[in-house]
């Protein structure tokens, strides 16, 4: 342990929430789209927010502030602009007006499709997917990076531009429209590197001492060819003479085989994640002989969850790291973009719980405290350490995080509790007899249009303009409308339409103990869309039924079977901030037990079909394949725990919305649900073929109506999709339904589409 390296320890972060305290950026951008905010005003708002963030970071004691992490929409799209990979169809618009063209790439226009959007690794942030092909010509445009660096430098701050690295950029890309699917964007590396070289030189000329290149794609399993490309990229960039010092950053998981590649590269520094599964980086780094002669930026503060750090534990990690690198700096594990801005804004959260929470601002303070402790000894941070110990103790000992009744119930769960009383084949027969459905039964995925009146009613309730009774009457009126439409349309298994739900996770989170809601806890989902994920802070239990009266009301209106509708345990975790003080599987089990009670109450109230949605099952898959079996084991067990208490004749449905899922078919089978509905309309029933290829033995409803578009599918089109589905799934096991819920659709297209869907089912039934 050299005191020289410790004394130099500095605090930094890789990025900060972009939106501003009151989401000023969202309002400015949306105002700009509506023509109310001109370009100059938008730019001024953005510059003001960047400046406020930098000054806030510097005031907090951050030694090196990030630049270039700001974005009007998405930092991967910014990289696309930086490397000049503008898709052909957007080039004219970008040339005519760069900002308008930028937003056109992000959102599309009447005539031109936007770039595709997908999730940024395993976060809930979405980026715009670069479109590349063999004809792609890159051209450097460092203007945004250089300008933002200069803004920070002009404030007298030490700034470090942060760029998406060239390997990750290519690995995130997909073949442009018209380019064969087999095209590998990584083949463009040699063409891309000179562009990065130019940007680096221009940043150097602007005065940047260090530049950070983010390579999170390297925490995923990579082929030897990909690792070889990585080695080549950093050998070439390292060999440049006119460049700043390079810090290659990774986060969200451990580097694995990429660690020796980067450690051996001629770059001056690495930034590594040491939280969660990435903690394995510590031993791997020691085994690899450390980073002699390099700077190590240690991400010891979890940048993507909302809990306070265990400072003592982080100091121990940092102490070990001191012996492994030339210089050790302290950071959050990833950009703070993934957490809300400031926990102290939460005036409604119990002050006792508030002490356990750290949002971006609090995490920044933790990073600074740790750097201080590392540089000057723990004596200088004795006060912070004592307060941290007390806060951690308060969390560990709180009845909120430890409810003995919940714990003993979870411990008592046996394997039998996670199994239906009869195997699928036997209970399928019981269900057939019980439900008396035709072949190719029709149903929907749950929600019906969330009308403006419903949203207004909810706002009125919140504002006290209407009382609970008035609001609930609005909800019942909506259920009447939804049920009567479905009866008239001839749908076989009805739903109540979910009008009472603001959101499929939040609705349940509000009714379960252990969850808390924030008032200002906004996190960017994509572009100007922000979400406020609930915080799963404590032990979970269900004080009372959550959905039964709405489902029962729908049942009272019709002779036909009505399907109850719940959100599954994995999705309840995936779209929340989850506790980090126990394994995720333990938390999932608690949520599953609460849902199990709801399932049984629905059944007791006479609900013959119950659907438990798990759209997040696949998106929560760990980044490393080695971690997936353990995840799928607890995830599928939690689902089964929530659903397997019912009688054989009660039919359990589940729903997921993606078109590619060959990698989780086994897991889907392990859910032991009776029926699954899936997205399939756009991919011409691809999922049906995948299910067949894996000999999936249960009933399935590959969607025949693409609900992501206002377009109404014709009855012939839906019938054709059904005939395609029948080639993969026998008629006894094929359901007819849309791709997903209808909450974002309007009533007119919903009516027409569902009528066509029923007509298609009738036509194809007649052909059987």
Report the binding-site residues for Zn(2+).
Answer: 655, 657, 670, 679, 740
Is 219 exposed, middle or buried, given 0-12, 13-18 or 19+ CB atoms closer than 10 A? Answer: buried
CA neighbor of 551 nearest in space, from 509, 595, 604? 604
E strands of 99-196, at which residues?
117-119, 126-128, 131-132, 159-164, 174-175
Q: Does 698 bind ligand GLN (CB under 6 A)?
A: no
Mark the segment that binds ligand GLN (CB under 6 A) among 99-107, 249-257, 337-345, 440-448.
440-448
Binding residues, as ranges, are 23-26, 119, 124, 498, 575, 613, 619, 655, 657, 670, 679, 740
**Rounded-to-integer distance, Cα 693 and Cα 714, Å:** 28
Which span (100-108, 226-234, 306-314, 442-450) binds ligand GLN, by CB under 6 A? 442-450
Name which of 523 and 740 has its Cβ closer to ligand GLN. Answer: 740
* 505 token code pair: 């996770």
Task: Rule CB under 6 A: say whether 740 interacts with ligand GLN.
Answer: yes
Q: Which residues contact 387 (CB under 8 A, 6 or more apart)?
A: none
| Under rule CB under 6 A, residue 496 binds ligand GLN | no
**Residue corresponding to tokens 């240690």:** 298
Q: What angle do CA 604, 606, 468 make, to 5 degrees?
A: 85
Per CB under 6 A, 619 contacts ligand GLN? no
Give 652's strand partners: 610
Between residue 741 and residue 760, which ones bind ligand GLN under the rule CB under 6 A? 741, 743
Q: What is the 3-state secondary structure (H, E, C) of 284-351?
A: HHHHCCCEEEEEEEEEEECCCCCECCCHHHHHHHHHHHHCCEEEEEEEECCCHHHCCCCHHHCCCCCH
Q: Considering beta carbons, is residue 105 or 691 the nearer one to ligand GLN? A: 691
Residues 677, 654: Cα–Cα separation, whole Å: 6
* Site for ligand GLN contains 248 (CB under 6 A): no
* Residue closest to 233 by CA, chosen among 321, 166, 314: 166
Task: Identify whether the C-beta of residue 599 lies closer than 8 Å to the C-beta of residue 610.
Answer: yes
Angstrom distance (rounded) from CA 332 to CA 436? 57
| CA pair distance 49, 70, nearest whole angstrom | 9
Task: List residues forming the annotated binding site for 5-methyltetrahydropteroyltri-L-glutamate.
Answer: 23-26, 119, 124, 575, 619
Number of residues that bind ligand GLN (CB under 6 A): 13
SS (H, E, C) 681-727: CCCCCHHHHHHHHCCCCCEEEECCCCCCCCCCCCHHHHHHHHHHHHH
Choose from Zn ion, ligand GLN, none: what does 509 bind? Cβ within 5-8 Å by kind: none
514 vs 741 by CB, closer to ligand GLN: 741
Where does this chain touch ligand GLN (CB under 6 A) — which range of 383-391, 445-453, 538-546, 726-734?
A: 445-453
- The reply on whether position 504 binds ligand GLN by CB under 6 A is yes
Which residues contribute to the annotated binding site for L-methionine? 498, 613
- Cα–Cα dist 459/270, whole Å: 49
Give the footprint of Zn ion on this chain (CB under 5 A).
615, 657, 740
708 is catalytic: yes
Asked if 595 is part of the footprint of ligand GLN (rule: CB under 6 A), the reply reads: no
Q: Which x/- pattern, by CB under 6 A, does the window 543-582 give for ligand GLN?
A: ----------------------x-----------------
Cβ-based nearer residue to ligand GLN, 160 or 458: 458
Choose among ligand GLN, Zn ion, none what residue 447 binds, the Cβ cut-off being 5 to 8 Å by kind: ligand GLN
Taking the complex as a whole, how short is the minimal distance between the CB of residue 740 and Zn ion, in angstroms? Answer: 3
- Reported as half-sphere exposure (CB side, CA atoms, 13 A), residue 556 has a value of 10
| Contact region with ligand GLN (CB under 6 A), list: 96-104, 179-187, 285-293, 441-449 | 441-449
Tokens of 377: 């000894």
Stretch that binds ligand GLN, among 34-42, 398-406, 444-452, 529-537 (CB under 6 A): 444-452
Contact between 493 and ligand GLN per CB under 6 A:
no
- 449 touches ligand GLN (CB under 6 A): no
The correct pick among 69, 148, 310, 613 for binding ligand GLN (CB under 6 A) is: 613
Outline where DSSP puts E strands in 542-590: 563-567
Give the whole-angstrom CA distance, residue 126 versus residue 117: 6
Could you give the angle at the alpha carbon of 94 between the alpha carbons of 88 and 98, nearest 5°? 155
Task: For the beta carbon of residue 156, count every other beta carbon within 10 angstroms.
Answer: 7
743 binds, among ligand GLN, Zn ion, none (CB under 5 to 8 A by kind): ligand GLN
CB 499, min distance to ligand GLN, A: 11
Identify the residue among 445, 523, 632, 646 touching ligand GLN (CB under 6 A). 445
User: Which of ligand GLN, Zn ion, none has residue 446 at its interface (CB below 5 to 8 Å by kind)?
Assistant: ligand GLN
For residue 367, what are the CA distances in angstroms to 16, 105, 209, 240?
13, 36, 21, 32
Looking at beta carbons, which residue is closest to ligand GLN?
Answer: 741
Residue (50 or 653) nearer to ligand GLN, CB = 653
Residues that bind ligand GLN (CB under 6 A): 445-447, 498, 504, 565, 613, 615, 655, 657, 740-741, 743
Q: Which residues are catalytic, by number? A: 708
């Amino acid at each position: 342990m050299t005191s020289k390296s410790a004394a130099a320890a500095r605090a930094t972060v890789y990025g900060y929430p972009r939106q501003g305290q009151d989401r000023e950026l969202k309002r400015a951008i949306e105002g700009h789209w509506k023509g109310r905010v001109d370009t100059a005003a938008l730019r001024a708002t953005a510059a003001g927010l960047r400046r406020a963030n930098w000054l806030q970071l510097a005031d907090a004691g951050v030694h090196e502030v990030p630049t270039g992490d700001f974005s009007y929409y998405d930092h991967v799209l910014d990289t696309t602009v930086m490397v000049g990979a503008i898709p052909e169809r957007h080039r004219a618009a970008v040339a005519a007006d760069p900002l308008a063209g930028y937003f056109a790439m992000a959102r599309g226009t009447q005539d031109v499709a936007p770039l595709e959007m997908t999730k940024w690794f395993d976060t809930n942030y979405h980026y715009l997917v670069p479109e590349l092909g063999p004809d792609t010509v890159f051209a450097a445009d460092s203007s945004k990076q250089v300008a933002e660096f200069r803004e920070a430098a002009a404030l007298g701050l030490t700034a470090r531009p942060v760029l998406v690295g060239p390997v990750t950029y290519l690995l995130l890309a997909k073949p442009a429209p018209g380019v064969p699917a087999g095209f590998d964007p990584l083949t463009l590396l040699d063409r891309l590197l000179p562009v990065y070289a130019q940007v680096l030189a221009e940043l150097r000329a602007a005065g940047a001492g260090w530049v950070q290149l983010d390579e999170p794609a390297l925490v995923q399993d990579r082929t030897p060819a990909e690792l070889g490309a990585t080695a080549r990229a950093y050998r070439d960039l390292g060999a440049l003479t006119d460049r700043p010092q390079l810090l290659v950053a990774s986060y969200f998981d451990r580097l694995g085989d990429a660690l020796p590649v980067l450690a051996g590269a001629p770059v001056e520094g690495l930034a590594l994640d040491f939280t969660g599964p990435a903690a394995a980086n510590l031993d791997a780094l020691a085994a690899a002989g450390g980073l002699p002669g390099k700077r190590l930026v240690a991400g010891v503060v979890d940048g993507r969850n909302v809990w306070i750090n265990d400072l003592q534990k982080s100091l121990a990690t940092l102490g070990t790291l001191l012996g492994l690198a030339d210089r050790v700096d302290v950071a959050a594990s990833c950009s703070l973009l993934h957490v809300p801005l400031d926990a102290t804004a939460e005036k409604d959260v119990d002050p006792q719980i508030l002490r356990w929470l750290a949002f971006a601002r609090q995490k920044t303070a933790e990073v600074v405290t740790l750097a201080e402790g590392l540089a000057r000894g723990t004596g200088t941070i004795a006060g912070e350490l004592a307060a941290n110990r007390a806060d951690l103790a308060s969390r560990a000992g709180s009845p909120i995080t430890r409810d003995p009744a919940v714990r003993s119930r979870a411990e008592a769960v046996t394997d039998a509790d996670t199994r239906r009383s009869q195997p699928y084949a036997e209970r399928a027969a019981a269900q057939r007899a019980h439900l008396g459905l035709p072949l190719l039964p029709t149903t929907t995925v749950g929600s019906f249009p969330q009308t403006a009146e419903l949203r207004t009613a909810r706002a009125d309730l919140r504002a006290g303009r209407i009382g609970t009774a008035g609001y609930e009457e609005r909800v019942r009126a909506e259920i009447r409308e939804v049920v009567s439409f479905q009866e008239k349309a001839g749908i076989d298994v009805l739903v109540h339409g979910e009008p009472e739900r603001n959101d499929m996770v939040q609705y349940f989170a509000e009714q379960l103990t252990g969850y808390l809601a924030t008032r200002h806890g906004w996190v960017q989902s994509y572009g100007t869309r922000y979400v406020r994920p609930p915080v799963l802070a404590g032990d979970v239990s269900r004080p009372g039924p959550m959905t039964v009266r709405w489902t029962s009301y729908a049942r009272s209106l019709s002779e036909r079977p009505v399907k109850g509708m719940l959100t599954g345990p994995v999705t309840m975790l995936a779209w929340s901030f989850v506790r980090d003080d126990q394994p995720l599987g333990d938390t999932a089990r608690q949520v599953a037990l609460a849902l199990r009670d709801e399932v049984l109450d629905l059944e007791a109230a006479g609900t013959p079909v119950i659907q438990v949605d798990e759209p997040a099952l696949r998106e929560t898959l760990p980044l490393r394949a080695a971690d997936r079996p353990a995840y799928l084991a607890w995830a599928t067990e939690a689902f089964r725990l929530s659903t397997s208490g019912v009688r054989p004749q009660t039919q359990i449905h589940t729903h997921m919305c993606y078109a590619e899922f060959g990698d989780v078919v086994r897991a889907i089978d392990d859910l032991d649900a009776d029926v699954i509905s899936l997205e399939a309309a756009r991919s011409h029933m691809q999922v049906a073929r995948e299910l067949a290829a894996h000999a999936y033995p249960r009933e399935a409803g590959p969607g025949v109506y693409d609900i992501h578009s206002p377009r109404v599918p014709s009855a012939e089109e839906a019938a054709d999709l059904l005939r395609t589905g029948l080639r993969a799934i026998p008629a006894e096991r094929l359901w007819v339904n849309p791709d997903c819920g209808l909450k974002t659709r309007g009533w007119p297209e919903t009516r027409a589409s569902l009528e066509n869907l029923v007509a298609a089912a009738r036509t194809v039934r007649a052909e059987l």
